[in-house]
Amino acid sequence: MGVEALLARPRWIIPLRGGNPSHWVLGWVDYAKWETGIFDSIPEYGASWWAEPVSETRKCLMMDLRNLKQLLIDVIQSIRAYMNAPPMTWDDGHWSREVIWPPMLQCQLDGWSCGLFLLMAIAALAKNAGWESVINDNKDKMRNVTIQALLTIP
């Protein structure tokens, strides 16, 4: 896929890892909908503070939060710079942002399966499906799908 094809894609899906304890979340930017978002399997970890897009105006209001990182925006801007594309303006009033997580009793209930939730979220977003399938009850199914995919690698 060439640079032009990637820049023409209406949605980018970007896995992100950070925080303490370390945790995987899924970030996305949907250029067609003017939307950025984060899927977080454990909202109690507060990943939206280090991962979600933050406008310059909002950043000025939160300067005292030392752990604040706008990782998703930084990654997108870095990719665009690498492809010699102009940087995006995120705080112009057009962009909405979403922070999504599973229902309370279907959130990640352990300290190790955020990668499985990440894979379920990628599948849901790639298929334009809802988030209903990205739940703790489906974790074992995703683990089996992942193991089967790995076993087919020569």
Could you report the per-residue pLDDT of 21-74, keeping only the tens digit for each?
788 889 999 999 998 888 999 887 766 566 655 444 444 333 322 233 477 888
Q: How far apart are CA 110 and CA 113, in angstroms?
A: 7
Count of domains in the chain? 1
Q: What separation in angstroms does the CA of 27 have from each of 7, 14, 50, 145?
A: 17, 5, 11, 22
Predicted TM-score (pTM) of this structure: 0.80
CATH label of the domain that carries residue 35: 3.40.395.10
Domain limits for position 74: 3-151
For residues 34 and 79, the answer to whether their CB atoms sit within 8 Å is no
Tokens of 96: 């909405």
pLDDT at 2: 81
Could you report the per-residue pLDDT of 84-143, keeping only the tens digit for each?
999 988 777 888 888 899 999 999 999 899 999 999 999 999 998 899 999 999 999 999
DSSP state string for 12-40: EEEEEEETTTTEEEEEEEETTTTEEEEE-
Distance of CA 128 to the CA centre of its chain: 15
Strands 96-100 and 35-39: parallel
